[in-house]
Structure 1
Amino acid sequence: MTKRAIIKYSALILLFCAAAFTSCKEKKIEKTEVQKDTVAIGLREALTFYASFDTGVHADFAGGDSLLYTVPNRKALDSSRVGLRKPDITRQEGKGKYGAGLQFTERSEGYIYYPSEGNMAYSRENWHGAISFWLSLDPATDLEQGFCDPIQITDVSYNDAAIWVDFTENNPRDFRLGVIGDRNIWNPDGLEDENDLFLPQLVPVVSPPFAKGKWTHILINFSGLNTEKGEASLYMNGELKGTRPDISDSFTWELNRSNIYLGLSYIGFMDDLSLYNRALTENEIKSLYSLENGVKTILD
């Protein structure tokens, strides 16, 4: 083979390799896009509630009542009023993780909530779900002394058929997940000092990744509640922080009295609240954390 022929042959091989590499790269990109689309479709089908706070305080998407309510006392829900009626809580344009968000500025009386019915996929048998939202605060400097719950979902109280996350009362503050069944089951004797029974049910995170001016993604995942093998997990910024297995206590709600309460004694920002009718996969959780424009992306 002449030198000229060798050069021509080598050039053809290089051209073929380049074409093959480009084709493989395009296929890989196409496969990645298909995977993203599949994840988005799965999340959209599982979505039961979404509040972006971008155009107001009422939900963008809801399987039940989309309205936000304010009530002075949780035992007097008949006195609730539609809308955000607490001066220490405001919707701030451009201050959310995506667009507008809620800002909580002080501890005060009264509560804001969305009704659970239709928005939480509650079931008395084999209950599954997920709760996603973003928080921004410095717990050491922003929070006043005492426990605070950025979100609490229950028909009675934090210690009776409830799902919540909280900050502990003193610095340095831990962040905790509580998925607590019926109180008369786990505390059958009605003990007033119930810490020995209560605290082992929590999933604590020591030195949680919150900081001033920084947004942190929270994902509560649960499955099999109201069975003998319930499970609940806490994810932060797409990473698993802890799991509570073998939750056998029942979760009995008067569904029309159960609500999704926001910002109980919380001081800081909240944005992009979404609820799902099943536990999410690891891939879906990481995708939620990575969405460039929030959950609204999967609704477009």
Structure 2
Amino acid sequence: MHILLTGGTGLIGRQLCRHWLAQGHRLTVWSRRPAQVSELCATGVRGIATLEELGQDPVDAVINLAGAPIADRPWTRKRKMLLWSSRITLTETLLAWLESREQKPSVLVSGSAVGWYGDGGERELTEDAAPVSEDFASHLCIAWEETALRAQALGIRVVLVRTGLVLSAEGGFLSRLLLPFKLALGGPIGNGRQWMPWIHIQDQIALIDFLVHENAATGPYNACAPHPVRNAEFAKTLGRVLHRPAVMPMPAFVLRVLLGEMSQLLLGGQRATPARLLEAGFTFQFTDLRAALDDVSARL
């Protein structure tokens, strides 16, 4: 199978490339840095700077994960424009290319996030739920999904993966927490009651592979473990895994001053559950947070 990825040099994309390359699939990554693709992903993965380089070479599946990191810096007007263009504008370019293809891929798996729901408070959020509150992250995910869904008109099966907080030893949000926790400066954020939907990187890779091959899969899927935890519990568990105390809270007003609008990502949360994945028969390897963090910490 020939698989085209956008965002293939990111945390999830790199793991997908290694996973599928080991299975014997052919991988192409559309990247701003095509010369570095084989180094960042794996030897044997092709990097291209433009989609036109593929010519009419048949593509069986497209994985659309491209997007500038949403939590790397405060949401200035310029940053919001970059976050928007790196997702929505890029997906529009991808759609135009798909429309021009004589032979179209059978499936498009497009990225999204549990932030689609906004700050859900105490409400349990399955894929049937509507957005609970409106903020920039929610609007961004909604527009990203709506753009990707236009591929259905081309006869392409579209799957939307609403990812939670990915636990990985190779980067992501966990890497930002390690230093303060190792310095015994970790602890709950705000009141610590906000829900954190998490997922181990191995389950993230497995579920995307599952959805690519599950011909009946279409629409949104919450990519998070079945048991979300509150922020205070997450901090306590991470402290135990690292053998450090986790009692230094980060006051909400400090985050609002430091991060502005972006503080909503940390002070809000989603009690999201993977109802549709479980109904489809997907089996999670990691459903307990302590076991997941123990596994990741062993690889650090």
Whichever structure has more strand as a proportion of its residues is: 1
Q: TM-score band (shorter)?
A: under 0.3
Tell me the TM-score normalised to structure 1 length: 0.25
Q: Which has the higher contact order (CA 8 A, sep 6+)?
A: 1
Tell me the TM-score normalised to structure 2 length: 0.25
Whichever structure has more helix as a proportion of its residues is: 2
